[in-house]
Every structure is written in C-alpha cells, then in structure tokens.
Amino acid sequence: MVALEQYMRTRKRTVLIVAAVIVALLGLMLLAGLVYMWTDPEYVALRQFEPAFNQIATGMAREEVERRLGPPDYTDKEFGLGQREGFEDAYERAAKSDAQYYLFWHRGVDMVFTVGFNAADEAVVIESGGT
C-alpha cells in the first residue's frame, strides 16, 4: 500500500511538471508571436498607415488624400479590396457612387485601402479590407 501511495505521488508530481512545462512553452510561443507582430515590417506599416487612412473623409480633394497617405500603389477604374466575400456592402457602395477612378494602397499582409474619386477629384468612396 505504501508503494502505491508513493507511486501516485510521484506520478502526480510528474504530471504537474509536464503541465507546467507545456504552459511555459505555450506562453513563450504567444510572446514570440506578439513580438513578431510588433516588429514585422508589414505589421508596422499597417499600424502606421491606418490612423491616417481613418482621417480621410468624403469630399476631400485627391491632393489632400495623397498628402496624408502618400502616393498610391496603383490607380484603377474598377473598385477592389483584398477579396469580395465579406465586403459585398463595400462593393455595393462603390457601385452606387459616382466614383470615376480609385487609388489603392496595400499595407500589411493583405490589407487594401481604397479611395474612389469623382470627376471633380473629390473622395466619394473610402473603404478598406483584406483576407
């Protein structure tokens, strides 16, 4: 009986040690992921770009938009985001607008920031999205 009790105590201690090691490893993995997201150049670019993009308003002149956001990555006559699924409402708003062309900025892993302009070069569509 004494041997069984000693075995159970040893086994319980082993299980606790293994559990502690697993929790410590998971904690280190989480910390490594947070450090990566904080220092990865794509995430840094996204964090720096988003506040400026959020200040863009309808009616703003193209010159002002580009002054705040920098030159776009490309221009197109068609609206687009990282994907259509999940952003159908943004595509619908763009289709209903009088936007003649769109400026696009890609930031982060797969984030697209889009501003559409009318014939007077005023912002009429302001959307962002990604996968």
Burial tier of 112 (Cβ tally within 10 Å: 0-12, 13-18, 19+): buried
Contact assessment for residue 67 and residue 75, using Cβ atoms and an 8 Å cutoff: no
Question: 0.85 exceeded by the pTM?
Answer: no
What is the helix (H) or strand (E) element at residue 62, kind and residue range? Answer: helix 62-69
Evaluate whether 115 touches 76 at the Cβ level (below 8 Å). no
pLDDT tens, residue order, the chain (131 aa)? 777 788 778 888 888 888 888 888 888 787 766 665 556 777 777 888 999 999 999 999 999 999 999 999 999 999 999 888 999 999 999 999 999 999 999 987 789 999 999 999 999 999 999 87
Contact criterion met (CB below 8 Å) for 96 and 49? no
Whether residue 116 contacts residue 124, with contact meaning beta carbons closer than 8 Å, is answered with yes
Residue pair 112/82 in contact (Cβ under 8 Å)? The answer is: yes
